[in-house]
Structure 1
Amino acid sequence: MEIQSVSTTLVTQKLKETKAFYLSHFDARPAFDCGWYVVLRLGASPSGPEICLMEPQEGMVPFTGGIFLNILVRDADAMYERLHDQAGLPVIMPLEDHPWGDRGFGLLDPSGALVYCYHPIPPAAEFQQYILD
């Protein structure tokens, strides 16, 4: 089996606000938009990562949290400066080094998803044993 792509769909009653959040702060662009379902492509690559947003349809339960969207960036410090210091977005996980091998921070999008922006750093010795490839 060869998996070609994976994306996440957030079912949200705040589709417009969530779409604007990613367009404004993550250089996203719509790849598909029928109003109630939107596919946003992040970054400059035409085959870049995607996040999908959907207004609840009849019988669907809206997203209520419990998901991290992990976004690998070139420089988490620069992204923090751009999103928190310049754009004023509230951070709910501070920018810091983590012993498992990343430096990052987290904020919430309008749908309630935690957006974790990070870049890799060398892991602490106690986490070396968990690296499998």
Structure 2
Amino acid sequence: MTIRSASLTIVTGTLSQTRAFYEAHFDAKAVFDCGWYVVLRLDPSGAGSELCLMVPRDDMITFAGGTFFNLLVDNADEVHARLVDAGLPMVIALEDHPWGDRGFGVVDPSGVVVYCYHPIDPAPEFEPYFVRE
């Protein structure tokens, strides 16, 4: 099996606010929009980084929390500075993590933690956990 792309769909009652959050802060562009279901492209190259937002249909349960949406970025410090300047509160402080990333987190209007990070060298105690091919 070959997976060519992957996306996350968030069932939310705050579709318009969540969409505006990703468009304003992560340069997302809608590539499909039928009103109750929107596909946002996060990667301008079209390489498959998409986030889908959906208004609950029939008896669907809306998102209830507990999810991180991880975004590998070129420079977490630059993204962090831009989001702080925009007035977004951080729920995870920008810092180096021993497992090998430097990152921070914000919460989107639907309650998803958006974790932005870039890789750094892991601490020696985490090195054995990496699976190398």
TM-score band by shorter chain is: over 0.9
The 2-side partners of 1:45 and 1:34 are apart by: 23
Partner of residue 67, structure 1: 67
| Structure 2 unmatched ranges of 5 or more | none
Aligned residue pairs, count: 132
Residue 76 (structure 1) aligned with residue 82 (structure 2): no
The 2-side partners of 1:101 and 1:40 are apart by: 28
* TM-score where L is the length of structure 2: 0.97
Once the two structures are superposed, residues 73-130 of structure 1 have per-residue CA deviations (whole angstroms, 9 ceiling, x without a partner) of 000000000001x101000000000000000000100000000000000000000000
Cα offset, 1:43, TM superposition: 2.8
Q: Percent identity?
A: 59
RMSD value over aligned CA atoms? 0.7
The 1-side partners of 2:4 and 2:43 are apart by: 18
Residue 102 (structure 1) aligned with residue 105 (structure 2): no
Cα offset, 1:47, TM superposition: 2.6
SS of the counterpart of 2:18? helix
Query: Runs (4+) of structure 1 moved beyond 4 Å?
Result: none
The 2-side partners of 1:105 and 1:46 are apart by: 25
* TM-score where L is the length of structure 1: 0.97
Partner of residue 89, structure 1: 88
Cα offset, 1:48, TM superposition: 3.8
